[in-house]
A = this chain, B = another copy of it.
Amino acid sequence: MEDKRSLGARTLLFPTPALVVGSYDADDRPDVMTVAWGGICCSKPPSVMVSIRPSRLTYANIMLHRAFTVSVPGAAHVREVDYIGQVSGRDADMFAVTGLTPVPAGSVHAPYVGEFPVALECRVTHVVDLGAHTLFVGEILDVKADATALDSEGKLDIEAIGLVTYIPGLERYFGLGPSLGKAFEVGKAFRSG
């Protein structure tokens, strides 16, 4: 064990996801933004959290409609994910620029990205102002997935999809690495029972 050095108060955690949040504005125009501050936060009801600055169009949209989607990209769309993270829907039609397709969610009033392999449809249940960001909790009402994103057993085919992870502190995206083993199995070596 090494002695550790202090780096100060920083948002240094890895991996983080690269998620695209979809919403409609007041005129029902589809908007998207990329967030790395997000993740699953409850198993029952199944819920996801995303943190968004109040200055963002997406913030206003979610406050208005109390609904959003989370589109989960595969590795093929890292350029689109990065672009969507750079531009505001107030300044550009990101769907037109990227050629991605806004698809109306079936269970909430929000659009998802048709070309991404997986999308979560969410109804806002909690809004928590944390400072620079507001944390939105969304109950996941449905998950939509491409058939090609699933294997023959209906499980996620992560090797076909690839993934995009964002590493804070490096500001760099990485893809899927090797399997490190099955959860609830690889740690069994420590159990004496």
A: which residues have CB within 8 A of B? Answer: 1-2, 4-17, 19, 36-49, 51, 70, 72, 75, 78-87, 97-98, 101, 103, 106, 114-115, 118-120, 125-126, 128, 130-133, 135, 137, 139-148, 150, 155-156, 158, 162-191
Whether A38 and B37, one on each chain, are in contact in the complex, defined by CB atoms closer than 8 angstroms, is: no
Whether A177 and B180, one on each chain, are in contact in the complex, defined by CB atoms closer than 8 angstroms, is: no
| Complex Cα–Cα for A26 and B137 (A) | 31
| Complex Cα–Cα for A142 and B144 (A) | 39
Known contacts: A40-B36, A187-B85. The answer to whether A169 contacts B148 by CB under 8 A is no
Whether A51 and B41, one on each chain, are in contact in the complex, defined by CB atoms closer than 8 angstroms, is: yes
Please give the distance in Å from A6's CB to the nearest CB on chain B: 6
Known contacts: A7-B144, A86-B184. The answer to whether A178 contacts B174 by CB under 8 A is yes
